[in-house]
Amino acid sequence: MKKLLIPALLSALIVGCSSTPVDETSGAPVDSRSGSGVAPVTAGGLDSRGLPKELTDPKSVLSQRSIYFDLDKYEVKDEYKDLVAAHAKYLVANKGFKVLIQGNTDERGSREYNLSLGQKRSDAVKRSLTLLGAREDQVESVSLGEEKPKNPGHDEAAWAENRRADILYRAPDGRGEF
């Protein structure tokens, strides 16, 4: 009898410890709650990336997302301070939104120099946004150096377009530009 009981118990133990395959194509259930504390965006609908149209409508100042810099400089010029202030105001009113500031340079200079200068440019815009009321956790700054030129040319006009910091938005639901 003992000879039959031990194999039966081992079989039961093995079957009890086996796992059933998990369907990895479906995600975990998400608890949908209203009143998330995110300030509502203004009316106007969403674009294909899930961003409010006021961020992408060419008639809106918020659709302008590049701040340009002089050669070897990283101070936000006076002509862009109102633009930065408009983005800060939007972030203050819409606490769930986040931005990524990408600092860019032209192709002149070493890779290390351009990465450093791009970081200083993105940090300057970040500093301006936070001084104007955006929360620190809403704004991230990175440098792309010369790696993402807006204009692929090799003259002063092209270089002027490439010396910039770009503002990319992400909505509270994770959709957006980054």
For residue 75, tell me if it sits in a domain.
yes
For residue 33, tell me if it sits in a domain.
no
For residue 21, tell me if it sits in a domain.
no
For residue 29, tell me if it sits in a domain.
no
For residue 23, tell me if it sits in a domain.
no
Note the pLDDT of residue 21.
47
For residue 139, tell me if it sits in a domain.
yes
- What CATH code is carried by the domain that includes residue 62? 3.30.1330.60
Residues 8, 12, 15, 17, CA torsion sign: negative
Question: Buried b vs exposed e over 53-68: b needs ≥16 C-beta within 10 Å?
Answer: bbbbeeeeebeebebb
For residue 126, tell me if it sits in a domain.
yes
CA distance 110 to 147: 12
Global confidence as pTM? 0.75
Give the domain extent around 160. Answer: 48-178
Structural domain total, the chain: 1
Per-residue confidence of the chain (178 residues) as pLDDT tens digits? 556 556 655 555 555 544 444 444 444 333 333 333 333 454 568 888 889 999 999 999 999 999 999 999 999 999 999 999 999 999 999 999 999 999 999 999 999 999 999 999 999 999 999 999 999 999 999 999 999 999 999 999 999 999 999 999 999 999 999 9
CA distance 144 to 98: 19
What pLDDT digit, counting tens, does each position of 18-44 carry? 444 444 444 433 333 333 333 345 456
Amino acid at 47: D
Q: Helices (DSSP H) in the chain: which residue ranges?
A: 2-17, 53-56, 81-93, 111-131, 156-162
For residue 101, tell me if it sits in a domain.
yes
DSSP letter (8 states) at residue 108: -
